Amino acid sequence: MKTTVKKNKVSLIGVLLDGIVFKNPVLIQLLGMCPILATSTSLENAFGMGVAVTFVLFFSNIIISLLRKIIPEKIRIAAYIIIIAGFVSVIDMILKAYLPSLSSSLGVFIPLIVVNCIIFARAESFASKNGVIPSAVDGIACGIGFTIALSIVSAIREILGNGTILGFHIFGESFQPATMMLLPFGGFLTLGFVIALVQFVTDKIGKGGNK
Amino acid sequence: MGTIISICFAAILTENFVLSKFMGICAFLGVSKKTDTSIGMGMAVTFVMTISTLVTWLINRYILVPFDFVYLRTIVFILVIACLVQLIEMFLRKCVPSLYKALGIYLPLITTNCAVLGVTILMADSDYTNILYPVIYAFAAGLGFTLAIVLFSGIREKLKFCDIPKPFRGFPIALIAAALLAMAFSGFQGLNLPF
């Protein structure tokens, strides 16, 4: 974790790497589990959800960072909710208009981005303390981090559960897909194993660094 | 009566909010380390889900739909839920202090619980024309959430005494336990009710 802090100035590359790798909101900070489990049945859904979350994170971080000196401390959570809900409504309407099939397959999970803990966490811990440009970069970085985590889980589930990747069959005719992986069971199991792998790797790296 | 029973069965078992719809996972994983706290959380969620479904369903049907404001639904619903949670908290503190003591610390967390917003949106999208069914569905979904979180906290209390491989400790093993619980609940999918 190399966030270079020089006189309250945050290095943009550090912010970017933190969001995507070192402090990945899903795999390291363990936030925003609901959409990860619910929308990871196919890689296509995962990309759609990732783009929607990144969009909301980017704009809500910018607006919250711009308003950070105006919003009173006591009602900040309510103010964040309104700002986030506004952008969620925008992306909901855009998806309904231009990608109706994706919108219907994500269903209720698009409006549920409002209560996604990642967006709250970034608003509270980053955007409300930093300038506009670092906040925008942080929004993009965390969005990409979220999309990567979601794509890993959904790629595993799609390959094992359906034998396809982005709709293309990758195994021969004789492949028997394990439909179980597409059920809720598979979501919990895959995410559990992915996070265990991440913990294993970070543990190994941490030990290597200490020697 | 038959409809009510089948709604309850669906919301509690076959379409369990946590284990088959993936809503409220944060609370499910976060507040399930001890059985008594998870019972408190489950009760608070059931309470807020029922009341907020009642209010948002009425708002949706009699204000948003007639005046063509459906596109504002997400904003209106989340505001209503946030205000309701505050109101319920104040009301309980003033009038039912014993219940406030039991549920108090969980109430603020519930605003950002996706199960609450999820059930209000699902019910607003549904084609129930009678206010009774959405409210019963929300109440039963809350009971389903309570059932899942209490069962899960029992598993987690046992897990504390197990020798788990190091990378799996904490979150991953909890997710795998949840996977097994979800598999058990998916057995209810085949349930065919005679009404």
- Is residue A3 scored above 60 in pLDDT? no
- Is residue A4 scored above 60 in pLDDT? no
pLDDT for the residue numbered A6: 44
Put simply, whether B161 touches A (Cβ < 8 Å) is no
Q: Average pLDDT, stretch A161-175?
A: 77
Q: How many CB atoms lie within 10 A of CB B170?
A: 15
Q: Average pLDDT, stretch B45-50?
A: 90
Instruction: Give domain limits for chain B.
Output: 21-184
Q: What are A87-97's pLDDT values in tens digits? A: 999 999 999 99
Q: What are the φ/ψ torsions at residue A100 (nearest 5 degrees)?
A: -60, -30
Q: Average pLDDT, stretch B9-37?
A: 84
Q: What are B89-141's pLDDT values in tens digits? A: 888 888 888 878 777 677 777 887 888 999 999 998 888 888 889 999 999 99
Interface contact flag, B26 A38, Cβ < 8 Å:
no
- The model's confidence at residue A31, banded by pLDDT at 50, 70 and 90, is confident
pLDDT for the residue numbered B22: 85
* Distance of alpha carbon A172 from the chain centroid: 33
Q: Average pLDDT, stretch A162-174?
A: 76
Q: What are A107-140's pLDDT values in tens digits? A: 888 989 888 888 888 888 888 888 899 999 999 9
Interface contact flag, A199 B172, Cβ < 8 Å:
yes
Closest CB to B175: pick one of A82, A85, A188: A188
Burial B12-29 (b: 16+ CB within 10 A, else e): bbbbbbbbbbbbbbbbbb
Q: Average pLDDT, stretch B46-66?
A: 91
Q: Which two tokens stand for residue B126?
A: 């549904």
Q: Which two tokens stand for residue A147?
A: 């999309």
- Is residue A2 scored above 60 in pLDDT? no
pLDDT, chain B, mean: 86
- Report whether A87 contacts A114 (CB < 8 A): no
pLDDT for the residue numbered A84: 92
pTM of the model: 0.86
Q: How many whole angstroms separate alpha carbon A2 and alpha carbon B186?
A: 44
Distance from CA of A90 to the nearest CA of B (A): 9
- Is residue B194 scored above 70 in pLDDT? no
- Residue B164 zone, left/alpha/beta (φ > 0; ψ -120 to 50; rest): beta
Put simply, whether B79 touches A (Cβ < 8 Å) is yes
In the 8-state DSSP scheme, what is residue B130? Answer: S
Pairs of residues, one from chain A and one from chain B, whose beta carbons lie less than 8 Å apart: 121
Q: Average pLDDT, stretch A82-91?
A: 92
Put simply, whether B91 touches A (Cβ < 8 Å) is no
- Is residue A8 scored above 80 in pLDDT? no
Q: What are B65-102's pLDDT values in tens digits? A: 888 888 888 899 998 998 888 888 888 888 888 878 77
Closest CB to B167: pick one of A32, A86, A196: A196
